[in-house]
């Protein structure tokens, strides 16, 4: 699933770069697209890792070995892709 989403994002990015270069758009738009990809990557990474570390911390305090880590990791994955989806929706409506 993650591989399909990553390929879809790469396809969208490359399509937009090719379209903008063929129409003679400025390099600023390409920089904006690359900053969007960077923003999405950092957003996904922070959500997943942050929730995983919170789960590990709670596991160490409550002595429930993998339960809280798995729950918070799943919450982090869901939150990451929800925020990425909302960011992409706003970006595509703007264009």
Domain containing 36 equals 2-94
Q: C-alpha 21: how far from its chain's center?
A: 25
pLDDT at 52: 95
| pLDDT tens per residue across span 40-84 | 999 999 999 999 999 999 999 999 989 999 999 999 999 999 999
Q: What are phi and psi of 66, to 5 degrees?
A: -100, 0
pLDDT digits (tens, 9 = 90+) for 19-51: 655 555 677 777 888 888 999 999 999 999 999
Q: How many domains, the chain?
A: 1
pLDDT at 71: 95
Distance CA 33, CA 17 (A): 8
**pTM of the full structure:** 0.68
Summarize the chain as % helix, strand, coil (round to 5): 90, 0, 10
């Amino acid at each position: 699933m993650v591989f399909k989403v990553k390929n879809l994002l790469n396809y969208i990015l490359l399509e937009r770069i090719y379209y903008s270069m063929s129409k003679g758009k400025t390099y600023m738009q390409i920089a904006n697209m690359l900053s969007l990809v960077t923003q999405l990557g950092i957003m996904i990474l922070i959500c997943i890792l942050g929730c995983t570390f919170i789960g590990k911390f709670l596991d160490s305090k409550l002595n429930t070995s993998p339960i809280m880590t798995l729950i918070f990791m799943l919450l982090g994955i869901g939150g990451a892709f929800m925020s990425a989806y909302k960011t992409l929706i706003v970006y595509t409506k703007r264009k």
